[in-house]
A and B are shown apart, each in its own frame.
Chain A
Amino acid sequence: MNPTLSARLHRWSQRWAPAAIVIPGDGDVWPFVLVGLVLYVLRLGAAPLWYDEAVSEWMAELPLARMISATAADTHPPLYYALLHFVQWLGNSPFVLRLPSVFAALVVIYLTWEIAREFNLSRIARIIGVGLLLVIPFQLWFAQEARMYTIFEAFVLGALLAALRRRWLWFVALNALALWTHNYGLFYLIVNCGVAAYVFWFDRYDYWRRSSIATALRYSIPLGSRMEDIKHAATEALICVGLMGAIALTLWSPWLLALRTQMGIVNAGYWIQPVTAGDVVFSLFTILFGATSALPIWLVPICALFSIGLLTWLVIKIAQRPEEGTLIGLWFVAAPILISLSISFAWRPVFLFRGFAPGVPIICLLVGWALAQLNLRYRLYAAILIAPLFVGVGIGHYVSMPEIKGSELQTIMDNIRAEWQPGDVIFYSNEGPMVAWHMRSVGLPQYLLPRCPQNDLGALSQQTRDGLGMREVVPASLPWKRAWFVFAVMSPVTQCAADEGQAFLDAHPHRLAYEIQNDQYVEANVWLLER
């Protein structure tokens, strides 16, 4: 990049970007940010919104008070939906709705570079680490996803950087924002407080050590014991960091009541399965390769082999040559996983790879650090291993994303609209397809079949359904002539819900209108019923 342009961009960021006002940087990061911008904006709107993104869109289009009520009985805090609410003023196309994630992913590139400087990584290590972050499939997926994960990453990494740079007001504020963005913010608050405590302790220990030397010199008394200095410093660090953590929690405390309801929902039966060793390994693999639905099945074994091998090698390298920065990095990556595992074993399964998103850029930095220690020949060898996988999966991401996210649903809905007659309605057997089709079926009368006494696994709560305005009706109570019945039986659906759907189908003359997916795991079709 032109050094003048780079310097100009840097000066501009120093002047205008809120983060840069407190976080000094160097101009070297901007080429990476620009490449990131190209990679993240490329085909950004090509894929339709899939279920999770459609939930974001639906939540965001509600009035704020109703959105907060709806999400209070779901599983996430409301900050991301509130942000998306305002972004929707620019439009509600997938491209616009995914833009906040793109911007946050660009901020993450910047923060990762700066954290690498604080870790005292060499320039080559920084370049490899941040370069890896650009092509790592996990980051590419979530930078182009209308969900909160890259924003959560940006807040948590910002808090980490604030701790390393002793910007304590920013530390508190960014941790509080992370708490309002994702419930895993609680885990990362503990992790970041751990880093802050270390930094604080280190500073105070230095202060106490100097004080005791000064006192000893002034009054000609023997030096105070080193242990006393360590104790003083540790006490101060614990008090100050505890206080900062408490302030962050206080800023988030209005959401505590809602969190209680959310935990009740998880406790009552969530779709996450009990954690097994294989599950942990699978999550470690997906931390690098992102949503595995984007991977062709034949690439999974080698990608998993590569991921686990790489992480194992990384741990060995850190153990062989422990440095302050890399140890903090290891703590930042491993501690949330251990906390989440502990809670999953002690209470309910809450172990989900997406929540570990903030650790991904740090893993890239650690890989950069480890590779930077190798000679050029071995680095080239590593590139031969890494490049085909990451680049191949990245290209696959762009090509297959529309299909993975359900572009055929749009075609089906277009056909339904073309065949629409007065007196037609749409019924959904459950909320899954209703959410996914929400944006595509605007203006059409659509209803849910009444819910069974036992919820589908991970189903939305009644309060969330009410907030979203989902209408459950008994079909006989409506004056419809023809009904387009979206009948989907997937793994989380209860037998009762499947039977109810089948009974509705059998009670009317019907024909198969459109097939969506039919295999041993999912049976989803659109039926046309007549009265």
Chain B
Amino acid sequence: MTDKYFAWLKYYQQRNNAMLGITAVAVMMVLAWEMVSFYPLPPAWLSRFRQAYLIAGLLVFFLTIVLSYFGLEGKLP
């Protein structure tokens, strides 16, 4: 095979490794939400935790998009 094949294979492996990292983060985020929802806390605390989680989640969500744009655009195929 040509060097193109091996370059693609390397990219393919890097992509798959990145996917595993993303999976770990995604699963932990969901589990954290479930814990926030079901952990036996006083209702007032629980409500505050949920609010904080959702606002933090939104911030991280849009921040990731912005950072990805400046960090990755034009640097990968």
Contacts and interface: CB of A to CB of B under 8 A. Distances in A.
A491 B8 contact: yes
A462 interface: no
- Residue with the greatest number of chain B CB neighbours at <10 A, chosen from A273, A276, A308, A494: A308
Contacts of B41: none
A522 B22 CA distance: 27
B16 A494 contact: no
Contacts of A93: none
A381 interface: yes
A298 interface: yes
A276 B16 contact: yes
A281 B64 contact: no
Contacts, number: 112
A64 interface: no
Interface in B32-77: 33-34, 54, 58, 61, 64-65, 68-69, 71-73, 75-77
A285 B22 CA distance: 11
Contact of B72 (A297, A306, A492): A297
A299 B34 CA distance: 26
Nearest to A497: B2
A309 B4 contact: no
Interface in A255-305: 273, 276-279, 281-282, 285, 296-302, 304-305
A316 B58 contact: no
Contacts of A491: 1-2, 4-5, 7-9
A302 B7 contact: no
Chain A contact surface mostly: helix
Contact of A495 (B2, B15, B26): B2
A494 B76 contact: no
- Residue with the greatest number of chain B CB neighbours at <10 A, chosen from A302, A489, A492, A523: A302
A493 interface: yes
Contacts of A381: 54, 58
A305 B61 CA distance: 9
B11 A521 contact: yes
A316 B65 CA distance: 26
Given A304-B19, A305-B64, A494 B4 contact: no
Contacts of B65: 298-299, 302
Contacts of B9: 273, 491
A506 interface: no
Given A282-B16, A297-B76, A301-B64, A520 B26 contact: no
Contacts of B30: 309, 312-313, 316
A298 B34 contact: no
Nearest to B75: A297
Nearest to A378: B54
Interface residues of A, number: 41
Nearest to B11: A521
Contacts of B15: 278, 282
A495 B3 CA distance: 9
Contacts of B1: 457, 491, 493-495
Nearest to A315: B30
Contact of B27 (A276, A312, A384, A520): A312
A23 to B, nearest CB: 36
A273 B9 CA distance: 9
A199 interface: no
A27 to B, nearest CB: 37
Contact of B20 (A277, A305, A520): A277
Given A309-B30, A312-B27, A521 B4 contact: yes
B25 A520 contact: no
Contacts of B4: 489-491, 493, 520-523
Interface in A345-380: none
Contacts of A457: 1, 5
Contact of A281 (B20, B33, B58): B20
Contact of B16 (A278, A300, A312): A278
Given A302-B65, A316-B30, A489-B2, A278 B72 contact: no
Given A282-B16, A304-B19, A309-B30, A494 B68 contact: no
Contacts of B23: 281, 308
A493 B2 CA distance: 7
14 contacts: A298-B69, A298-B73, A301-B18, A304-B19, A305-B25, A308-B26, A309-B26, A312-B26, A381-B54, A490-B4, A495-B2, A519-B77, A520-B7, A521-B11
Interface of B: 1-2, 4-5, 7-9, 11-13, 15-20, 22-23, 25-27, 29-30, 33-34, 54, 58, 61, 64-65, 68-69, 71-73, 75-77
Interface of A: 273, 276-279, 281-282, 285, 296-302, 304-309, 312-313, 316, 381, 384-385, 457, 489-495, 498, 519-523
Given A298-B71, A301-B64, A491-B1, 16 more contacts: A278-B19, A281-B19, A297-B73, A299-B68, A300-B72, A301-B72, A304-B19, A309-B29, A312-B27, A313-B33, A316-B34, A384-B58, A491-B7, A491-B9, A494-B1, A520-B4
